[in-house]
Amino acid sequence: RKEVEQDPGPFNVPEGATVAFNCTYSNSASQSFFWYRQDCRKEPKLLMSVYSSGNEDGRFTAQLNRASQYISLLIRDSKLSDSATYLCVVNSSYNNNDMRFGAGTRLTVKP
Amino acid sequence: GAVVSQHPSRVICKSGTSVKIECRSLDFQATTMFWYRQFPKKSLMLMATSNEGSKATYEQGVEKDKFLINHASLTLSTLTVTSAHPEDSSFYICSASRTSGMSRLSYEQYFGPGTRLTVT
């Protein structure tokens, strides 16, 4: 089983739609969780950290469910510029500096 | 946000030659840097963790003699792909970790723009 699993998509949604991605992780001792965004042929960029209580940043909402070992990302009112690959990132419990990446979920927002 | 640079951004080399990639943290000190490799439409795969002043820690399956890592200062880590082969062609990305004070729950990684290596 992969350490971090994501639905690869692609998700094709119209502008203005709400879309949600889920990510599951295998290591129950993981402590830190993030969503990164990666545009084609570019480096990943931090979108948001995911906190236990859930957190929101504008149109983006992240949730963490430790019991079921998954995190989610909700994007409301999708924009064309949201088209990218969204990477779920979880740290390894053995080293808090050791992040493990999911394969990413591809989102395309269409006009 | 923190800035991490990589050089070169793109390199084409012949099979059997060696290529050095530099990773620099421009506005912060990074005691730990990471080297990843990403094949097309695949996830980032951690190759090694680079610690300033000590030997790098390599992931299982990554040959340390082929991928030489040096972390000579708090702002510079280098990856040298020795005796490159076409199967080494990939997107190599470094990152540097920046922590928020004493909080161990605030690890965030800032990525360099990546180096696209093509071995012919």
Minimum CA–CA partner of B103 in chain A: A96
Report chain B's mean pLDDT, rounded to a whole number: 87
Residues B36-57: what's their mean pLDDT? 86
A11-24 per-position pLDDT tens digit: 999 999 999 999 99
Q: Given this model, what pLDDT does residue A9 score?
A: 87
> Residue A102: its chain B contacts at CB < 8 A?
43
Q: Given this model, what pLDDT does residue A78 score?
A: 98
Name which of A85, A111, A90 is nearest A100 in CA terms.
Answer: A90
For residue A74, the cross-strand partners are A20, A61
Residue A13, Cβ density class (10 Å: 0-12 exposed, 13-18 middle, ≥19 buried): middle
B52-84 per-position pLDDT tens digit: 878 899 999 999 999 999 988 889 999 999 999
Q: Which position has the higher pLDDT, B102 or B37?
A: B37
Which of the four pLDDT bands, split at 50, 70 and 90, describes residue A40?
A: confident
A70-109 per-position pLDDT tens digit: 999 999 999 999 999 999 999 876 555 677 889 899 999 9
Q: Does A45 touch chain B (CB under 8 A)?
A: yes
Which of the four pLDDT bands, split at 50, 70 and 90, describes residue B116?
A: very high
Report chain A's mean pLDDT, rounded to a whole number: 90
Query: Do residues A104 and A86 make contact, with C-beta atoms less than 8 angstroms apart?
Result: yes
- Give B2→chain A minimum CA distance, Å: 11
Q: Does A53 touch chain B (CB under 8 A)?
A: no
Does the pLDDT value for residue B38 go beyond 50? yes
> Do A99 and B46 lie within an 8 Å CB cutoff?
yes
Q: Does A25 touch chain B (CB under 8 A)?
A: no
Residues B28-45: what's their mean pLDDT? 86
Which of the four pLDDT bands, split at 50, 70 and 90, describes residue A2?
A: confident
Query: Do residues B34 and B95 make contact, with C-beta atoms less than 8 angstroms apart?
Result: yes
Task: State the amino acid at position B22 in one-letter form.
Answer: E
Does the pLDDT value for residue B90 go beyond 60? yes
Nearest CB partner across the interface for B43, out of A45, A46, A104: A104
In which region does residue A31 sit, left (phi positive, over 0), alpha (psi from -120 to 50) or beta (all else)? Answer: alpha
> Residue A46: its chain B contacts at CB < 8 A?
1, 108-110
- Give A25→chain B minimum CA distance, Å: 15
Does the pLDDT value for residue B102 go beyond 60? no
Distance CA B18, CA B16 (A): 7
3-state secondary structure of B88: helix
Does the pLDDT value for residue B105 go beyond 50? no
Structure tokens at B79: 């990856």
